[in-house]
């Protein structure tokens, strides 16, 4: 999309979680080009400040907040600071997320708690602490970053897939509830995007030896987070419900609905073997 001011963003206040790298950083940069005022959050202060530095060098004034989205008290405090300093949000992007891999029996319960705390409860917390003010103000838009794994579960990714299915369900339910208050809700499903989420994921079982291969696949695929940022902006502008982004995300989205048995067979064989050690 053209990087020029747009009425859906110009002068609007947007908050992006996980803004220290990847999709979050790309989204912040695009929103700034479209004219938005920005609040950027991340639990990694170094990455967060780097994103802020890039924006400030462009003359964009941003508010930064270090926060762990899985911490309910911290998110409540964040909302209090944001509302007190700059007011109610017009756009919320719940982007912060982590990944796990490994067969179900090898994945410890602690990893389930970790991934659900950030991927699910982090989204719940964001929607809770900022959604109420959007309703009171009579409008806004919430964007939740889900995944192609949110509608097509992959083997050896049960915890991650379950967390993203939960984000999809929350987003679809919340969209129906919020519509009467003028608040849109979108679920974005990126697909294979070249960010650091795979290199940083927790691996278990046979996937410990495969992590390098998966990272290499994502690197060679080289489908950048800027594509996802553009999809997020379009979702806000057009109030889209579910937005697959990469070509494979669209294929899986269509295939799961039109020929689920065939897609499951493919996942169990060729792609599954490709990612095995």
Task: Please report the sign of the dihedral spanned by the C-alpha atoms of residue 20, residue 21, residue 23, residue 26.
Answer: positive
Structure tokens that stand for 190 in this block: 């990126």
Q: Phi, psi (5° rounding) for residue 189?
A: -120, 90
CA angle (16, 133, 235) in 5-degree steps? 45
Q: Phi, psi (5° rounding) for residue 165?
A: -60, -40
Mark whether 160 is an active-site residue: yes
CA distances to 29, 45, 64, 139, 202 from 55, in Å: 7, 15, 11, 27, 31
Given 160, 218, 223, 253, the catalytic residue = 160
Distance in Å from the first CA to the final CA of the chain: 40
What residues act catalytically?
A: 160
């Amino acid at each position: 999309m053209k990087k020029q001011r747009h009425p859906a963003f110009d002068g609007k206040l947007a908050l992006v979680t996980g803004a220290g790298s990847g999709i979050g950083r790309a989204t912040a940069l695009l929103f700034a080009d479209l004219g938005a005022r920005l609040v950027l959050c991340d639990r990694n202060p170094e990455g967060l400040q780097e994103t802020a530095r890039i924006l400030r060098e462009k003359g964009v004034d941003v508010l930064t907040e270090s926060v762990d989205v899985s911490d309910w008290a911290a998110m409540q405090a964040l909302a209090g600071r944001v509302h007190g300093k700059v007011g109610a949000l017009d756009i919320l992007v719940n982007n912060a997320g982590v990944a796990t891999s490994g067969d179900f029996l090898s994945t410890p319960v602690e990893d389930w708690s970790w991934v659900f705390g950030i991927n699910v409860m982090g989204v719940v917390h964001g929607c809770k602490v900022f959604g109420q003010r959007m309703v009171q103000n009579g409008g806004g838009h919430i964007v939740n970053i889900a995944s192609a794994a949110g509608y097509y579960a992959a083997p050896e990714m049960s915890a991650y897939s379950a967390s993203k299915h939960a984000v999809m369900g929350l987003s679809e339910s919340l969209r129906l509830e919020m519509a009467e208050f003028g608040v849109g809700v979108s679920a974005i499903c990126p697909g294979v995007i070249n960010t650091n989420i795979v290199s940083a994921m927790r691996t278990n079982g046979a996937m410990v030896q495969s992590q390098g291969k998966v990272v290499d696949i994502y690197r060679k695929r080289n489908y950048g987070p800027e594509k996802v940022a553009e999809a997020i902006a379009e979702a806000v502008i057009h109030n889209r419900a579910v937005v697959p982004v990469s070509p494979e995300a669209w294929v899986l989205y269509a295939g799961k609905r039109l020929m689920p048995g065939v897609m499951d067979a493919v996942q169990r064989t060729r792609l599954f073997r490709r990612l095995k050690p």
